[in-house]
Structure 1
Amino acid sequence: MMELIQANRCFDGEQRIYTFNSKSLKGQAKFGIFLPHQALMGQPCPALFYLAGLTCTEETFAIKAHAQRLAAQLGLILISPDTSPRGEQVAAGDSWDIGQGAGFYINATQAPWAEHYQMESFIADELYAVVTQSFPLQADAIGIFGHSMGGHGALTLAFKYPEKFKSVSAFAPICAPSQCPWGEKAFSNYLGVDQAEWKKHDATALVQSKGALFQEILIDQGAKDQFYSQLNPALFKQACAAAGQSLTLREHAGYDHGYYFIQTFMDDHLQFHSVQLDA
């Protein structure tokens, strides 16, 4: 059963945080949700899942992304899960880019991570079911987007579950985690050494294997991103071109990896999804 632990009036809607006992994560899980006025009145609304990056929580997006104003105007519900399982019983890594706060939106198969780190099932199955059953979401108008590690999560979950997510976009996503230090570290810990398993959770490899699934994908990338070498947008662009997947990849001079960059282009992403979900 969900428990409401925070509710704040916001642009005639409400920004809320809930907790519930997750079977996937084997413990308490939190998620944020913005309900525009239309949803509060019981009107079915399109919805977006936002997956945050390394070290973030269920509240980071709500505080830093500045998305609620336009979401309220467009009548969009925004769902922001935590980035990993949490708690004293949950394995923790020895650095900020592994373990708690760094779930990578996959199902771990290796000890000690496999016990709790089932983030793919949590997002795509459990939380998806919870929000569609508990709030007035339009079942055929749900999209997904994210940032960095969460951009990786958004792209990969969209290609794994196109029947659930009708639209997808990302800010500075890790486009080819099998080919960068962040991904190699996470995948070797969570999935083991078999790189064939890694490819199943790699956006570039998924486009190559599944082909074009979406009318359009939008990615924004800062040209001054301090983590640019980890992200490999060019590899994803090449894979999309080869597969016939339409992609708008925009690189922006002077912008880095953080939420000031995300704020700047957030309206574009909300409008993009609003059009895609209405199609």
Structure 2
Amino acid sequence: MPRPASGAAATRPEPPAAPRADCIADSAGGLTFDVEAPERADSWDTALLFRRRGGRGGPADELRLPLVPSGESRLRAVLPSTVRLPEGRWDAFETAPGAEPVRLTSGVNDLRTITDRHPDPGSGPVAVRIPYATKHGNLSLRSWLRAPHAEAGDLLVRDGEVVVEGRLHGVRAGRGAVIEARRRLDPSHIRTAPVTGDGSHFSATLVYAWFADVWEGAEEPWDLWLRPTGEDGAVAVRIARILDDVADKKAVYSYPARPLATPRGPAMAGPYYTVDNDLSVRIGVRATPG
């Protein structure tokens, strides 16, 4: 069997580079995607495909948008603000008839127009889509669809407590409104703080000592909800921060933890955002809530 000459190395063709997509957002929350396609710039049969991560592959877990020639060796697709995506993470692909979908890499995401959005508090569901690059550099969308919604604003961290402020959408804070901290390990454990505000705005102070008596010594989160009135049957709303351009606040927003005395010994307490950008308080032994 012939062998390559001494010093010669077998070469393999490099796999084609994954196509890159740039994205720009408009002020209403619509997204325009431009896909680099020098070999397909005149193609009219390709599509931008979004698949919901963890979905079952049914119609509700896929969205196809036509990709049309847009000059300069590019194809363009538009996701209007009126098209609602179920909540979750959506991975982006380019697809053509008879070919397997190709994962798109993330280019430039221009999200300046959706930074600190302020939709009408009395309008319909709050719908947010934020494009982002995964840890492998691929393009994905994080989608939220909340009705009603409690948008977290400033957090004032003080010794022994945190002041939570925000704005309500689709519901108003009435008489007897409270913020509920629900222990994730056992949701029957609830601590409440009275809400002050003018109906759409809310503010409440959470005292860390309220959580000390049931702490068991491990990292323990308490999830924050807002119950808009004290009436029986009033539906509580999860407090989150989604009306900006940060898809993953847990990795970006960091708040100091404060010492907390508990029956099991010293602990630390502080607020943090979960992987879904929901607001929680964590009791643990670390210096920061992570």
The structure whose residues are more often helix, as a share, is 1
**TM-score, normalising length from structure 1?**
0.24
Which is richer in strand? Answer: 2
Name which structure has the greater RCO, CA cutoff 8 Å, separation 6+. 1
- State which structure, 1 or 2, has the greater radius of gyration over its C-alpha atoms: 2
TM, length-normalised to structure 2: 0.23
